Structure 1
Amino acid sequence: MRFALALQRDKLLNRAYTQLYLSPKMSGPPLAGPGPAPAAEAFQAYGPIAVITGDQRHIGHGGGIAGGNTNWSIYLDRDWVGVILCNYDLDIQSVIRQERQAVPGA
């Protein structure tokens, strides 16, 4: 959470470099939307995946190993942050879909 806040408040990088870091660079495959929601358009940024769902922007990054999964999402237009930390194998995509359904307008 502190990372997300520092990034959004330009505490890690100045504003120009923050925008450069977060801005989409290369188009990726579309992501399935949660439930009946439309698919999201995804782009690779300089670390996180930058996603546009409807008119809402969010970035995120995750990873996993046998026995653990993580993901963080920053909903740039909603002032929301989602963090998933798990110390067991998990269908993390289903949890991410539930998270996005919980964020208004995401």
Structure 2
Amino acid sequence: MQTINWQDFERVELRVGTLLSAALNPRAKKPALVLEIDLGPLGIKTSSAQLTALYSAAELPGRQVLCVCNFAPKSIAGVRSEVLVTGVYDEQGQVVLAGFDHPLPNGSRLA
């Protein structure tokens, strides 16, 4: 594993957001969802995520997630993805979303 210094970590803007909506992206080569995420003072941002193996679009709104907010926007299958929603691969290679045990204000930064 490569190590980084504390200043490198501080540059990554990891923030809490609430999923407002999720819909299948028909233009994606691999099944993906287009997500709208409320990041509080940072506004509402869009992301594309390959989450369909474990999550349906209908169950995601209202869920809080951890997002990387300071990557440059990227075009993914016709979607302007503004943030990266974080998760971890399980034993089958499916993404399990990173989340929280208690509600948090949107836009809160990871401590």
Q: Give the TM-score normalised by structure 1.
A: 0.30
User: Please, what TM-score do these two structures have when normalized by structure 2?
Assistant: 0.29
Q: Which has the higher contact order (CA 8 A, sep 6+)?
A: 2
